[in-house]
Protein backbone atom coordinates (compact mmCIF):
# COMPACT_ATOMS: atom_id res chain seq x y z
CA UNK A 1 0.00 0.00 0.00
CA UNK A 2 1.44 3.42 -0.93
CA UNK A 3 2.22 6.02 1.73
CA UNK A 4 -0.63 8.22 0.45
CA UNK A 5 -3.15 5.37 0.65
CA UNK A 6 -1.88 4.41 4.12
CA UNK A 7 -2.12 8.03 5.28
CA UNK A 8 -5.64 8.33 3.89
CA UNK A 9 -6.65 5.01 5.47
CA UNK A 10 -5.38 6.27 8.83
CA UNK A 11 -6.73 9.79 8.41
CA UNK A 12 -10.34 8.98 7.52
CA UNK A 13 -11.15 7.07 10.74
CA UNK A 14 -9.35 9.76 12.77
CA UNK A 15 -11.31 12.52 11.00
CA UNK A 16 -14.59 10.70 11.69
CA UNK A 17 -13.60 10.26 15.35
CA UNK A 18 -12.64 13.94 15.64
CA UNK A 19 -16.00 15.00 14.20
CA UNK A 20 -17.69 12.91 16.88
CA UNK A 21 -15.40 14.18 19.66
CA UNK A 22 -15.74 17.81 18.56
CA UNK A 23 -19.48 17.54 19.09
CA UNK A 24 -18.84 16.38 22.67
CA UNK A 25 -17.76 19.96 23.58
CA UNK A 26 -14.18 18.94 24.33
CA UNK A 27 -11.34 21.44 24.15
CA UNK A 28 -7.73 21.71 25.25
CA UNK A 29 -7.43 22.92 28.84
CA UNK A 30 -3.68 23.40 29.04
CA UNK A 31 -0.28 22.33 27.86
CA UNK A 32 2.04 21.04 30.59
CA UNK A 33 5.81 21.10 30.35
CA UNK A 34 8.34 20.33 33.02
CA UNK A 35 11.45 22.01 34.41
CA UNK A 36 13.78 21.70 37.39
CA UNK A 37 13.28 25.45 38.04
CA UNK A 38 9.73 26.54 37.17
CA UNK A 39 10.42 30.10 38.40
CA UNK A 40 13.23 30.56 35.86
CA UNK A 41 11.16 28.96 33.13
CA UNK A 42 8.20 31.24 33.90
CA UNK A 43 10.54 34.23 33.52
CA UNK A 44 11.59 32.90 30.10
CA UNK A 45 8.01 32.47 28.82
CA UNK A 46 6.99 35.87 30.19
CA UNK A 47 9.93 37.54 28.43
CA UNK A 48 9.86 35.55 25.19
CA UNK A 49 6.09 35.44 24.59
CA UNK A 50 4.64 38.18 26.79
CA UNK A 51 2.70 35.76 29.00
CA UNK A 52 1.43 36.47 32.52
CA UNK A 53 1.19 34.26 35.58
CA UNK A 54 -2.47 33.44 36.23
CA UNK A 55 -2.20 30.83 39.00
CA UNK A 56 0.39 29.18 41.24
CA UNK A 57 0.29 26.03 43.34
CA UNK A 58 3.07 25.46 45.89
CA UNK A 59 4.58 21.98 45.61
CA UNK A 60 7.28 21.06 48.13
CA UNK A 61 10.45 22.80 46.98
CA UNK A 62 8.92 24.22 43.80
CA UNK A 63 5.74 25.55 42.29
CA UNK A 64 3.35 24.59 39.54
CA UNK A 65 2.91 27.85 37.62
CA UNK A 66 0.13 28.55 35.12
CA UNK A 67 0.68 31.18 32.42
CA UNK A 68 -1.62 32.66 29.80
CA UNK A 69 -1.70 35.36 27.13
CA UNK A 70 -3.25 38.81 27.53
CA UNK A 71 -2.35 42.48 27.19
CA UNK A 72 -2.39 42.74 30.99
CA UNK A 73 -2.31 40.31 33.92
CA UNK A 74 -6.06 40.80 34.40
CA UNK A 75 -6.68 40.07 30.71
CA UNK A 76 -4.53 36.93 30.92
CA UNK A 77 -6.49 35.73 33.97
CA UNK A 78 -9.76 36.35 32.09
CA UNK A 79 -8.52 34.63 28.92
CA UNK A 80 -10.61 31.45 28.39
CA UNK A 81 -7.91 29.98 26.12
CA UNK A 82 -5.75 27.08 27.19
CA UNK A 83 -2.94 27.81 29.63
CA UNK A 84 0.71 26.82 29.75
CA UNK A 85 1.40 24.83 32.92
CA UNK A 86 4.99 24.66 34.19
CA UNK A 87 5.37 21.58 36.37
CA UNK A 88 8.42 20.83 38.53
CA UNK A 89 10.66 17.86 37.66
CA UNK A 90 13.91 16.50 39.03
CA UNK A 91 17.03 17.90 37.43
CA UNK A 92 18.15 14.29 36.83
CA UNK A 93 15.15 13.36 34.66
CA UNK A 94 16.03 13.10 30.97
CA UNK A 95 14.89 15.98 28.81
CA UNK A 96 11.91 15.51 26.52
CA UNK A 97 12.56 16.40 22.86
CA UNK A 98 8.91 16.35 21.70
CA UNK A 99 7.51 19.89 21.21
CA UNK A 100 4.53 19.83 23.58
CA UNK A 101 3.89 23.51 23.03
CA UNK A 102 2.91 24.95 19.64
CA UNK A 103 2.24 28.67 19.42
CA UNK A 104 1.01 30.95 16.64
CA UNK A 105 3.10 34.08 16.08
CA UNK A 106 2.50 37.19 13.98
CA UNK A 107 6.17 38.31 13.91
CA UNK A 108 8.49 35.32 13.58
CA UNK A 109 11.74 37.31 13.48
CA UNK A 110 10.74 39.42 16.49
CA UNK A 111 9.68 36.34 18.45
CA UNK A 112 12.94 34.53 17.66
CA UNK A 113 14.90 37.58 18.86
CA UNK A 114 12.86 37.66 22.09
CA UNK A 115 13.46 33.93 22.65
CA UNK A 116 17.21 34.32 22.28
CA UNK A 117 17.26 37.45 24.47
CA UNK A 118 15.31 35.58 27.18
CA UNK A 119 17.84 32.71 27.25
CA UNK A 120 16.24 30.25 24.82
CA UNK A 121 17.71 28.89 21.60
CA UNK A 122 16.56 27.80 18.20
CA UNK A 123 16.67 24.11 17.39
CA UNK A 124 15.79 25.00 13.80
CA UNK A 125 15.70 28.54 12.51
CA UNK A 126 12.41 29.58 10.86
CA UNK A 127 11.77 28.02 7.46
CA UNK A 128 9.06 28.26 4.81
CA UNK A 129 6.66 25.34 4.69
CA UNK A 130 6.57 24.71 0.98
CA UNK A 131 4.87 27.53 -0.94
CA UNK A 132 2.02 27.87 1.57
CA UNK A 133 3.25 31.12 3.14
CA UNK A 134 3.44 29.32 6.49
CA UNK A 135 6.72 29.72 8.39
CA UNK A 136 7.78 27.25 11.08
CA UNK A 137 10.43 27.71 13.77
CA UNK A 138 11.57 25.17 16.38
CA UNK A 139 12.94 26.43 19.70
CA UNK A 140 14.22 25.15 23.02
CA UNK A 141 13.54 26.89 26.34
CA UNK A 142 16.21 27.15 29.05
CA UNK A 143 14.91 23.97 30.77
CA UNK A 144 15.34 21.92 27.57
CA UNK A 145 11.65 21.81 26.51
CA UNK A 146 11.14 21.92 22.77
CA UNK A 147 8.46 24.13 21.23
CA UNK A 148 7.21 24.96 17.76
CA UNK A 149 6.17 28.34 16.39
CA UNK A 150 3.83 28.83 13.43
CA UNK A 151 3.38 31.96 11.35
CA UNK A 152 0.36 32.03 9.06
CA UNK A 153 0.12 34.67 6.33
CA UNK A 154 -2.71 37.16 6.67
CA UNK A 155 -5.73 36.49 4.51
CA UNK A 156 -5.97 40.09 3.29
Name 85's bridge partners.
32, 66
Pairing mode, strands 83-88 and 30-35: parallel
Name the CA dihedral angle for 43, 48, 50, 54, rounded to a multiple of 10 degrees. -40
The CATH number corresponding to 3-151 among 3.10.180.10, 3.30.750.24, 3.30.420.40, 1.10.10.10 equals: 3.10.180.10
Q: Check residue 156 and give its pLDDT.
A: 67
Q: Among residues 3, 6, 15, 34, which one has the least CA distance to residue 146?
A: 34
Q: What is the DSSP string of 47-108?
A: HHH--EEEEEEEETTEEEEEEE--SSHHHHHH--SPEEEEEE--TTSPPP-S--EEEEES-H
Sign of CA dihedral 116, 108, 101, 133: negative
H or E segment to which residue 6 belongs:
helix 3-22
Instruction: Report the alpha-carbon distance of residue 39 to residue 64 in Å, rounded.
Output: 9
Closest CA to 147 of 113, 112, 117: 112
Residue 23 CB neighbours (<10 A):
8
Residue-level pLDDT at 11? 42
Provide the terminal-to-terminal Cα distance of the chain, rounded to the nearest Å: 41
What is the average pLDDT across 53-72?
93
| pTM, two decimal places | 0.67
pLDDT digit string, tens, across residues 63-83: 999 999 999 999 999 999 999
Q: What is the pLDDT of residue 29?
A: 74
Categorize the per-residue pLDDT at 98 as very low, low, confident or very high, splitting at 50, 70 and 90. Answer: low
What are the residue boundaries of the structural domains of the chain, listed by start?
3-151
pLDDT band at 59 (very low <50, low <70, confident <90, very high): confident
Q: Which residue has the higher pLDDT, 102 or 116?
A: 116
Amino acid sequence: MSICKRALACTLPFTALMAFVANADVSINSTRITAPDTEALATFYKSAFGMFEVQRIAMGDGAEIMLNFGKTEAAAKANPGSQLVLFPRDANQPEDTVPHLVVNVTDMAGTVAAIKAAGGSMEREPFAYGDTGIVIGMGIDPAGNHFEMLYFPSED
